[in-house]
């Protein structure tokens, strides 16, 4: 019943009783997927969807590559948008889920290749909202928004298969009878290849998001076989397994509701293998109420809450470091890169805003740590 990351952090920091040592080798790199800016924003002009590199201190921001729409010149200047980023360490490859589909690149942004698109005949190109690479299986798992499916494919985008239908039914309430989007879609995905479980966040609207899992082995037993691990979540996004427990981003809705990083207060190995609603206690790693960094005023003076979009954890020996990116893309675009440390004695997190220049950080939707 112990929260795993927090005690680990506290334990490690108790030794030094200070913020994590910011030392990192020069090869360590943070990669940001920036969705781009498609309208005139103050004080930021428009720009294309891009991959960016920063040092773990938030310095030396570089645009690695910009993605272009593969159509005519007018469209080429528009951002293609983006939703999620993942890194495959075994192949040293980045996968960016963009408005055009999944784009594979080398870690320096070169060799950009559009490896797959999801066409749903009714809604045109389906949004790919989450991506994850299962390194042993050498497959990319991804979630689609309109159809509410989790699929997998080879790392070159071939051999696409449906893994799970996580739609929880179709939304029939639209005026057009042919437009029937999924009620829920995977806002984040992670495969635990050791134990054979697939975890995802089921996203939709206010407070009705949840964290779920299903066994990978065997056929899809249907939604009645999907375990609900946590519920009542406001727009859940990315999920990661860290230190044997599950962490997720609660993005918050629009620009006025709290954002957080939360975790299951139970080791994944200790979860019951059956039973559809485990209703586990959850813990909060980071919450918008803990710092002013989550709030900005747009150029009209209206207060915006920046939403956490993605986080990374670097663990080496006893040391553990967490970074996250926040953004708000209303009238004014804000993007920030933040590092978190924990003081000993159970006191709250200490935030260090490493970079809050939106022109350097972009409007971040994905963050990866390369070592």
Residue (124 or 346) nearer to ligand NAG, CB:
124
Residue (8 or 149) nearer to ligand NAG, CB:
149
Per-residue string for binding with ligand NAG, 149-178, x by CB under 6 A?
x---------------x-x-xx--------
Q: Which of residues 11-50 bind ligand NAG (CB under 6 A)?
A: 26
> Smallest distance, Å, CB 312 to ligand NAG?
17
d(CA 221, CA 215): 9
> Smallest distance, Å, CB 52 to ligand NAG?
13
> Smallest distance, Å, CB 109 to ligand NAG?
15
Choose the stretch contacting ligand NAG; rule: CB under 6 A; options: 67-75, 91-99, 136-144, 339-347: 67-75
> Smallest distance, Å, CB 305 to ligand NAG?
32
Residue (29 or 329) nearer to ligand NAG, CB:
29
Query: Three-state DSSP class for 75?
Result: helix
Handedness of CA 243, 57, 84, 257 (dihedral sign): positive
Q: Which of residues 84-123 bind ligand NAG (CB under 6 A)?
A: none
Number of residues located near ligand NAG, criterion CB under 6 A: 14
> Smallest distance, Å, CB 44 to ligand NAG?
23
| 72 sits near ligand NAG (criterion: CB under 6 A) | yes
**Of the residues 7, 14, 19, 55, which one makes contact with ligand NAG according to CB under 6 A:** 55
- Per-residue burial over 308-319, b if 16 or more Cβ lie within 10 Å, else e, is bbbbbbbeeeeb
Per-residue tokens: 4: 């795993």
Q: CB neighbours of 298 closer than 8 A, spacing ≥ 6?
A: 304, 328, 330, 331, 332
Output DSSP code: residue 157. S
Per-residue tokens: 136: 């042993």
Query: Three-state DSSP class for 43?
Result: coil
- In 10 A of CB 173, how many CB atoms? 9
Per-residue tokens: 324: 């996250």
> Smallest distance, Å, CB 58 to ligand NAG?
11
Choose the stretch contacting ligand NAG; rule: CB under 6 A; options: 68-76, 80-88, 109-117, 346-354: 68-76
Q: First and final CA of the chain: distance in angstroms?
A: 31
Residue (55 or 81) nearer to ligand NAG, CB:
55
CA distances from 215 to 196, 197, 203, 267, 273 (A): 6, 5, 20, 16, 9
d(CA 113, CA 130): 18
Choose the stretch contacting ligand NAG; rule: CB under 6 A; options: 52-60, 116-124, 211-219, 226-234: 52-60
Residue (167 or 305) nearer to ligand NAG, CB:
167
Q: Which of residues 249-278 bind ligand NAG (CB under 6 A)?
A: none
Residue (75 or 256) nearer to ligand NAG, CB:
75
Choose the stretch contacting ligand NAG; rule: CB under 6 A; options: 53-61, 191-199, 207-215, 241-249: 53-61
> Smallest distance, Å, CB 71 to ligand NAG?
6
d(CA 220, CA 111): 36
Q: CB neighbours of 129 closer than 8 A, spacing ≥ 6?
A: 83, 84, 97, 143, 144, 145, 185, 186, 187, 203
**Of the residues 16, 21, 60, 276, which one makes contact with ligand NAG according to CB under 6 A:** 60
Choose the stretch contacting ligand NAG; rule: CB under 6 A; options: 10-18, 72-80, 112-120, 308-316: 72-80
CA angle, 74 as apex, 103 and 333 as ends, to 5°? 65
Instruction: Give strand pairing partners of 29.
Output: 370
Binding site for ligand NAG (CB under 6 A): 26, 55, 59-60, 71-72, 74-75, 147, 149, 165, 167, 169-170
């Amino acid at each position: 019943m112990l929260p795993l990351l927090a005690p680990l952090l506290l334990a490690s920091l108790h030794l030094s009783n200070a913020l994590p040592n910011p030392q990192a080798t020069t090869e360590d790199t943070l990669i940001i997927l920036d969705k781009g800016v498609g309208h005139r924003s103050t004080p930021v002009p428009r720009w294309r969807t891009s991959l960016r590199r920063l040092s773990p201190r938030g310095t030396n921001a570089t645009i690695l590559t910009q993605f272009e729409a593969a159509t005519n010149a007018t469209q080429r200047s528009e951002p293609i948008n983006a939703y999620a980023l993942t890194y495959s360490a075994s192949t040293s490859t980045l996968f960016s889920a963009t408005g055009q589909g999944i784009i594979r690149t080398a870690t320096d942004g070169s060799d950009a290749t559009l490896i797959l698109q999801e066409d749903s005949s009714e809604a045109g190109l389906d949004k790919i909202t989450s991506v994850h690479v299962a390194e042993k299986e050498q497959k990319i798992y991804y979630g689609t928004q309109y159809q509410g499916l989790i699929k997998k494919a080879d790392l070159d985008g071939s051999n696409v298969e449906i893994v799970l239908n996580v739609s929880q039914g179709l939304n029939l309430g639209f005026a057009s009878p042919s437009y029937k989007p999924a009620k829920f879609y995977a806002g984040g995905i992670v495969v635990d290849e050791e134990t054979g479980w697939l975890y995802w966040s089921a996203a939709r609207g206010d407070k009705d998001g949840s964290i779920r899992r299903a066994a990978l082995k065997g056929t899809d037993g249907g939604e009645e076989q999907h375990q609900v691990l946590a519920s009542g979540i406001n727009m859940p996004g990315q999920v990661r397994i860290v230190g044997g427990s599950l962490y997720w981003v609660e993005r918050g809705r629009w620009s006025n509701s709290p954002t957080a990083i939360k975790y299951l207060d139970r080791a994944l190995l200790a979860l019951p293998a059956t039973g559809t609603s485990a209703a586990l206690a959850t813990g909060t790693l980071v919450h918008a109420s803990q710092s002013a960094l989550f709030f900005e005023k747009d150029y009209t003076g209206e207060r915006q809450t920046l939403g956490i979009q993605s986080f990374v954890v670097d663990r080496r020996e006893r040391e553990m470091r967490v970074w996250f990116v926040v953004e708000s893309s209303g009238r004014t675009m804000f993007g920030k890169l933040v590092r978190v440390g924990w003081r000993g004695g159970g006191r709250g997190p200490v935030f260090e805003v490493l970079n809050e220049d939106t022109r350097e950080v972009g409007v971040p939707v994905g963050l990866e740590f390369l070592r």
